[in-house]
Amino acid sequence: MAATITLPLATYPPGTYNIGPASVPSGLTKFHAVIDATLFTDPAIVLVLNAQRSFDAGATWNPMCNVVMHGEVLFDRLGNRVTAFEVNAAFEKGSGNANRRIKASIVLSGGSLRTSVLLEIT
């Protein structure tokens, strides 16, 4: 069963928003994040996703991924508008460890943004 934590769909003013922490069940090894980019079109807006993992029930945290995104309208190679940004990373160390945790922060600057974020370990 996947471990899932979310930042619900809402309009967020500039600031920092924390997601989690959440327990990661044994055996799960893949981190996947989906950021709703439907209204992320203003180039002045910057979103930073900083995900961290713990292998000791949250006593210490290690960086897992840090992604900086700027608002813009993007299209895929077929000309379809991109409405979500996806980030993937490994969450392998200690896959049998029952003390694994995940947390993340979203930092918004440059303006408000209506978005949601899904973090999932599978």
| Residue with token string 């978005």 | 115
Can you tell me the distance from the alpha carbon of 42 to that of 31, in angstroms, rounded to the nearest whole number? 27
Cβ atoms 95, 25 nearer than 8 A: no
pLDDT digits over 7-64, tens only? 999 999 999 999 999 998 888 888 899 999 999 999 999 999 999 999 899 999 999 9
**Against a cut of 0.85, is the pTM above it?**
yes
Contacts of 59 (CB under 8 A, 6+ apart): none
Q: Measure the CA–CA gap between 73 and 83, rounded to whole angstroms.
A: 9
pLDDT interval class at 93 (50, 70, 90): low
Domain tally, the chain: 1
- Residue numbers of the domain that contains 22: 3-121
- Helices within the chain (DSSP H only): none
Q: The domain spanning residue 42 has which CATH number?
A: 2.60.120
